[in-house]
Structure 1
Amino acid sequence: MMLKRGGVGVVFALLSSGVSAQGLEEAAREVEEALHLTPDAENGRKVYMVCTVCHRPEGWASPDGMYPQIAGQQASVLIKQLADIRARNRDNPTMLPFTSPRLLGGAQEIADVAAYISALPMNPNNMVGPGFDLELGERLYKDECAECHGPAGEGDKKDHIPLIQGQNYFYLIRQFDWIRSGKRRNADSKMVKQIQRFTPREEYSVLDYVSRIRPPENKLAQPGWQNPDFPDYARHPWQTLPAYQMAR
């Protein structure tokens, strides 16, 4: 099994949280397989249909923090998270049924949908924080976060470190708290330990700053853009379905 940052520490942290060694092996094997496949983005579009209910056709989700913006995310990160959820290395009861082989498919489909999502343009108007303490947030980001997540929050596809630029503020808070408490079990052990000492002021200021890191212009959607791959019923299903279909 190939392990990224954290090495043996990640294994012990996950096993102590109830993740089985078999689950770790299954996820690692599926990640490696998917990473070495040639993705078919057109098939990824078809697979993505099942994801649009929560993540929306554009992949921007909602600003309330319930779901993340996944458009533009590193494909390797998407692959790893899907494999981890499926192998129950990451607790996500909402997504678990959608990652089943019956609905999602196998490693090829994971590679396909990850390629499709990573190519989607990002929301140019993501939800940002209140902007009260950005100087502290910038300093903390440069000192504590940039080494792994990159100076512009671009992530690292080789080490499956997520792109966090342009992410919704409330989702960043939710995941930060889950990582610190151990609820997000597949988090990097180095980060779990590192953020234990963050005060509430430091947490909110650094995540406010992160939410304001603007992705490159070529990754952003044009004003008013909607994903042309999906018709209106995929965007507002209960408003556009005929009455007889809604009653079925």
Structure 2
Amino acid sequence: MIFKQGAIRVLSLLMAVGSSGVPAGGIEEAAREVENALHLTPDRENGRKVYMICTVCHRPEGWASPDGMYPQIAGQQASVLIKQLADIRARNRDNPTMLPFTSPRLLGGAQEIADVAAYIATLPMETNNVAGPGFELALGEALYKEECAECHGPAGEGDAKDHIPLIQGQNYNYLVRQFDWIRSGKRRNADSKMVKQIRRFTPREEFAVLDYVSRIRPPREKLATPGWQNPDFPDYARQPWQELPAYQVIR
């Protein structure tokens, strides 16, 4: 019942805030908020309460949707989550779906950003993820080691210090969408080095490397146990994701 009442409150606030209620900003504004959040001591219990806002789309487990609309955020580097939330709020990253959810009226300030990021970072990751077709994995592996591993890590583990995301266990469809948005400039907060680097990728190279990345497994200690559901939200009415075409599910 508490969860249901909270969800009603969240939805009513969203209707009141709207996209126009989020303050405009830019790179400097987001950078200041990231710096503030990174130097705060996170309160994971408060982060659990804040995360209720996120369950509207990301659901309690923080796992990906098969179509790639929502990424797997469970287990992500906390510093990456902080940066993305701050960038979206300051409109340094264009994400109309998430923009109202980052409003200070819903998310609060730097402390709540730090809190919810710490909570999400400790959620266990999904054991299954949608992978690519598997046609050119040797090419994909070679490209990853040559072009991507220096920043994202040899096992896709990311880099907390430099806000480089963990890309293990991410759905192929989401990887393709974000790759294309970064290359085209639609994802404005992308690393400029990466933007320049991937513009020379051919379509064959793009799909090969992303297919390979979609098969990088998180370490066992980061994975959820089979059938796990987030016990912090027992009243959440879980419905199966809409059945959508997918290439393959890693098991």
Instruction: Give me the TM-score of the superposition, normalised by structure 2.
Output: 0.84
Among candidates 37, 48, 59, match of residue 45 of structure 1: 48
8 Å contact from structure 1 (residues 54, 61) kept in 2:
no
Within 1, Cα distance between the matches of 2:48 and 2:69? 23
Classify 1:130/1:188 alpha carbon distance in 2 versus 1 (closer, same or farther; 3 Å).
same
State the distance in 2 between where 1:234 and 1:115 align.
Answer: 24
Partner of 1:233, secondary structure, is: coil
Kindly indicate whether the alpha-carbon contact (under 8 Å) linking 1:57 and 1:234 is maintained by their aligned counterparts in 2: no
Matched AA of 2:105: R
Q: CA deviation at 1:100?
A: 0.3
Question: Is 1:93 aligned to residue 96 of structure 2?
Answer: yes
Q: Does 1:67 align with 2:70?
A: yes
Matched, 1:173 2:189: no
Q: Which secondary structure does the structure 1 equivalent of 2:27 belong to?
A: helix
Q: What is the Cα deviation at residue 56 of structure 1?
A: 1.2
Equivalent residue pairs, number = 217
Which of residues 23, 26, 44 is equivalent to 2:26?
Answer: 23
The match for 1:4 is none
Q: Give 1:103's aligned residue.
A: 106
Aligned 8 A contact 2:152 2:158 in 1: yes
| Match runs of 1:204-219 below 5 Å | 204-219=207-222
Q: TM-score, normalised by structure 1?
A: 0.85
Q: Secondary structure at the match of 1:127?
A: strand
Q: Structure 1 counterpart of 2:225, which letter? A: Q
Amino acid at match of 1:97: P
Cα offset for 1:232? 4.1
CA contact (8 A) 1:52 1:234 kept: no
Report the AA paired with residue 155 of structure 1.
G
1:14 aligned partner: none
**Within-5 A mapping of 1:51-200:** 51-200=54-203
AA in 2 matched with 1:220? L
Q: Which amino acid aligns with 1:88?
A: R
How many Å apart are 1:22 and its aligned residue?
A: 5.3
Any idea what SS the aligned residue of 1:174 has? helix
**Distance across 1 between alignment mates of 2:143 and 2:135:** 14
Amino acid at match of 1:96: L
Check 1:211–1:194 CA distance in 2 against 1; reply closer, same or farther (3 A cut). same
Aligned pair in 2 of structure 1 residues 30, 157: CA closer, same or farther (>3 Å)? same
Asked whether the 8 Å contact 1:58–1:227 carries over to 2, the reply is: yes
Aligned partner of residue 143 in structure 1, secondary structure: helix
Per the alignment, in what secondary structure is the counterpart of residue 180 of structure 1? helix
State the AA in 1 paired with 2:125. M
Unaligned 5+ residue runs, structure 2? 1-23, 240-251
- What 5-or-longer segments of structure 1 have no aligned partner? 1-20, 237-248
